[in-house]
Structure 1
């Protein structure tokens, strides 16, 4: 019974739930990028290169078929996803940097500093008399 309780505590931590949500959103984002690359970008690149359909590019060696066109498409998917993540992290870091640069109010003087300031002021008054 202790393992179930320990697992429940682990699964209900905020970091684990945030990570799970991130993985789900990342998978959905990956599907969107794959569709963009496969259905929009690669056909346009194919037209620019001379009507080449990248998904159909393959070579047969013996009985094995090597589909290097799909590999090229996967590499383009990866580059786009990596660039999008880079931009997101860069934006987050710039927000954090701006937050750190905000000037903070100077700390209130300590009791000792207040007392020393009062003594200094009294000594100045006595010296002026």
Structure 2
């Protein structure tokens, strides 16, 4: 989320920490402002608040990697990293022959570049009858 034009999904009353996690971000990697004022991650969002976030470290991107079934994990990678590098960092190096690799819901090549807040999913192939 490099600029303030990205939309966050949230509910009134959530903390910025909860909002960041809900939107696939690692909260500690961002500085948050509400209505132009710097706030902590424990700030509870009120109706009408304008939230902006700025990456603390522009040299890394955060990518979510999940094996289905299983828990999603978040990894910081350098700009220009590939799907294959994300899977290697996540410890799924040898599973690409057994699983389908998707970026969100679309199939993706292992040499495709990953972008900040991408979700890379490893899922068992579905068999058609």
Q: Please give the TM-score of this superposition, normalised by the length of structure 1.
A: 0.18
Greater fraction strand = 2
Greater fraction helix = 1
Q: Please give the TM-score of this superposition, normalised by the length of structure 2.
A: 0.18
The structure that has the greater radius of gyration is 1
Larger RCO, structure (CA 8 Å, separation 6 or more): 2
